[in-house]
Structure 1
Amino acid sequence: MPTSLQGIEDTQTLAQAIVDTIHEPLLVLDAEFRVLAASRSFYETFQVDPEHTMGRTLYSLGDGQWNIPALRLLLETIIPERTAMDGFEVEHDFPGLGQRTMLLNARKVIYERSTNTTILLAFTDITARRLIEREKQELLEHTKELLALQQTLLQEMQHRVANSLQIIASILMLKARAVGSEETRQHLRDAHQRVMSVAEVQAHLHASGGVDKIEVRGYLTKLCGGLAKSMIGEDHPIALEVVADDGEIGSDKAVSIGLIVTELMINAVRYAFPTAKPDARVLVTYKSAGDGWTLTVADNGVGKTPDLAPGKQGGLGTVIVEALVKQLGAKMKVQSDGGVSVSITRAAAALLPQAA
């Protein structure tokens, strides 16, 4: 048989037990905002005792410290209209606590058999939470300021680097025109091309916003287009084509790949077509496979490879390409059959031999 409460005293005892069980400070007020009950947590949190709390109006507790305008707004204006209110934030110097930020939850209880009303008022201290949020916001704003400063410094550095590279390239061309030795002139022109390659890489990375990854097709197309303009003359036309997939590569590796393409282009233009050829062509391809890739520079020239031929003592171009290939952790393969094809392959990480 289900049991029921025997009388009003049992009901009050149960109600008080429920109030005391609640972890957060809780007040039970009548329609005149007098305290009918308070939870144990309320007494402990605000360091008050029942004798100076029960039966008194909320606004008169202590020395009137609870006469808070925001609290009056909640109890006298909002609650009568809405019956309930959750998350009403109040920042105040609360008795026994000091300056605190509290969330107030309030409910007006209306009884079926009585005209009396009761208001339940609960407090949640969110001071620490708000402090953390403010600190996070300040940290975020400080980080944004640092990032903005970093971007400004990066742009300034890129601008200075670009200017310096242009100055060096101009000096090399002036020297190339001034020297009498054809061999020295050619070396200076080669050096000019290498500087312009670095300048093209730097300009592309700057246009990409300094991102960690760049799209290879657009990068190689722009790089090779710039090289073609400066290396291929109208009296000796050579078609240049770039075929690349949608792969991306780290901006740090893009510099090495750009310099490799420059060196191979120099070799192709210098040696592949000693005489004019109507269908002269250099094809640059890039294929990605996971984090691996293959870069190929191939021409349809005479098949002469003085710098890159196996077993031969290479010049500066060979030294540069071999060093860059090693730096990339890649392997190089040279084929000469109706032209020269140089492939640089970086195996995917899953295919690389594991260290013992």
Structure 2
Amino acid sequence: MQQFAEPGDAKTLALAIVETISEPFVVLDSQLRVVAANSAFFKTFEIDPARSHGISLFDLDERQWDIPLLRERLRTAIPEHPLISGFEFDRDVAGIGRRTFLMTARTVDYGRSSAPNTLLAFRDVTEARRAEAERQALLERTEDLLAQQRVLFQEMQHRVANSLQIIASILMLKARSVTSEETRHHLEDAHQRVMSAATVQNYLHLTDGVDEIEVSTYLQKLCEGLARSIILDSRPIIIDVNATQCTIPSRNAVSIGLIVTELVINAVKYAFPVVTSSARVLVSYEAHGTDWRLVVSDNGVGLDAPDKAAEPGLGSVIIEALTKQLDARVEITSSEHGMSVTVAHATFHSTLSTAA
């Protein structure tokens, strides 16, 4: 059987509950006069308990509680009996200074048996708001620094692109002025490699310094630029791209772009000694998790062609160095039907067609 407390016992129990609440808590009558409050309320706001009972909340502590917005909220709460949650206000507290409090108010209506009471609970959120302000200020400073970093990064990219263009122009001028065919050949190769680096740099400049680069778009733009710069109308060669929809870290994009450029240039220069309408170079890329595979293949004459055999080793050295940076490996296959160079990271099982 459920047992209900007598009226006197109920009052004692209610006061005991109020006192056990750790945060400032006060009970007001229908006129917003103090009926009861806990020790935390008196201690926090340095109010004399003996001089608070029956006093209007707004007259306490030399009218420090007479805050217009607070008065309006509480006056509205009594007749409507709503729950006021998260009402935030500032006030000065003796010995502490300016503090920010979060108030929750609830008016309890007993019906006709008794006048309503309003219960107020206060939580000091000064330190929390201060921490939020500091975090916001730190966030704003960080955003400012990142904006400055982006500007500097763009300026650096612009300077690098200009420098590469200047170097490429100088190499071409030198190639035109020398009499030695061998020297001219090496200078032209150097010019193409510098232009390759410039092509990669120009695309990365358009990405505005993002951390991840979309591979398919990246390789498509790169190969379109290569086709415009190295394929002559008299030697029609198609460069296709077959790449899965995935991203790579921007730090790897430069190395992969340079490898693709080197291999594509090599295929265009040496795979098709005889002009043919079916000449094709295919660049494919696919990834599974952290594993990836890049393949550049052609349907040319293969590695046994005399021109390929005479190819200087600089391109191979460059590819090997870039592959090592990517923690990958290089595999080359060749036949009379063409040549394929694979650069793969870890074990990989292909799902794409890589035949040119």
Q: Aligned AA for 1:337?
A: S
Using the size of structure 2 for normalisation, the TM-score is: 0.88
Report the Cα offset of residue 100 of structure 1: 0.9
Runs (5+) with no aligned partner, structure 1:
351-356
Paired residue for 1:318?
Answer: 316
Q: Which residue of 1 aligns with 2:155?
A: 156
Three-state SS of the structure 2 residue aligned to 1:74 is helix
Give the match for residue 246 of structure 1. Answer: 245
Moved over 3 A (4+): 1-6, 77-84, 304-309
What are the superposed Cα offsets for residues 178-209 of structure 1, whole Å, 9 maximum, x if unpaired?
Answer: 22222212211111111111111112112223
Paired with 2:180 and 2:61, the residues of 1 have a C-alpha distance of 101
Q: Secondary structure at the match of 1:62?
A: helix
Equivalence map 1:55-70=2 (5 Å): 55-70=54-69
TM-score w.r.t. length of structure 1? 0.88
Q: Deviations over 1:27-86 (max 9, x none)?
A: 122233322211122122223332122232223323332323233222234443454422
State the secondary structure of the residue aligned to 1:293. strand
**Matches of 1:348 and 1:139 in 2, distance apart?**
44
Tell me how far apart the structure 2 counterparts of residues 340 and 5 of structure 1 sit (CA, whole Å).
95
Which residue of structure 2 aligns with residue 130 of structure 1? Answer: 129
Paired with 2:76 and 2:111, the residues of 1 have a C-alpha distance of 23
State yes or no: 1:5 paired with 2:5. Answer: yes
**Counterpart code for 2:59:** S
SS state of the match for residue 61, structure 2?
Answer: coil
User: Which residue of structure 1 aligns with residue 168 of structure 2?
Assistant: 169
Tell me, yes or no, if the aligned pair for 1:291 and 1:348 is still in contact at 8 Å. Answer: no
The corresponding residue for 2:353 is none
| Sequence identity (%) | 55
The match for 1:215 is 214
1:186 equivalent to 2:217? Answer: no
TM-aligned CA distance change 1:162 to 1:82, over 3 Å: farther
CA distance in 2, matches of 1:88, 1:3: 37
Q: Deviations over 1:243-288 (max 9, x none)?
A: 2222332222222222222222332233222232332222222232
Partner of 1:271: 270
Between the aligned partners of 1:336 and 1:83, the Cα distance in structure 2 is 82
1:261 maps to what in 2? 260
> One-letter code of the match for 2:45?
F
Letter in 1 for 2:240: E
What is the rounded CA distance, in whole Å, between the counterparts of 1:280 and 1:32 in structure 2?
A: 94
* 2:58 aligned with 1:52: no
Amino acid at match of 1:315: G
CA positional deviation for 1:308: 7.6
2:325: which partner in 1?
327
After TM superposition, list the pairs within 5 Å mapping 1:336-355 onto structure 2. 336-338=334-336, 339-348=338-347
Which whole-Å deviations, capped at 9, do the CAs of 1:78-133 have from their partners, x for residues lacking one? 44345442222111113454211112222223333346332222211111111111
What's the offset of the Cα at 1:313? Answer: 9.6
Give the whole-Å Cα distance in 2 for the aligned partners of 1:337 and 1:84.
82
Q: Is the 8 A contact 2:90 2:100 kept in 1?
A: yes
Q: CA deviation at 1:17?
A: 1.3
Equivalent AA in structure 2 for residue 203 of structure 1: N
Cα 1:18–1:288 change in 2 (3 A) is closer
Provide closer, same or farther for how the CA distance between residues 175 and 65 of structure 1 changes in structure 2, counting only shifts above 3 A.
same
Q: Is the 8 A contact 1:267 1:307 kept in 2?
A: no
State the alpha-carbon separation in 1 of the partners of residues 61 and 297 from structure 2: 90
Aligned twin of 1:202? 201
Whether the 8 Å CA contact 2:303–2:335 is kept in 1: the answer is: no
8 Å contact kept, 1:45–1:97: no
Structure 2 residue aligned with 1:301: 300
Inter-partner Cα distance in structure 2 for 1:330 and 1:289: 14
Q: In structure 1, what is the Cα distance between the partners aligned to 2:275 and 2:348?
A: 43
Letter in 1 for 2:313: G
Equivalent position SS for 2:234: coil
> What is the Cα-based RMSD across aligned positions, in Å?
2.5
Q: Secondary structure at the match of 2:63?
A: coil
Q: The residue matched to 1:61 in structure 2 has which SS?
A: helix
Match of 2:170, SS state, is helix
* CA 273–102 in structure 1, closer or farther in 2 if over 3 Å, else same: same
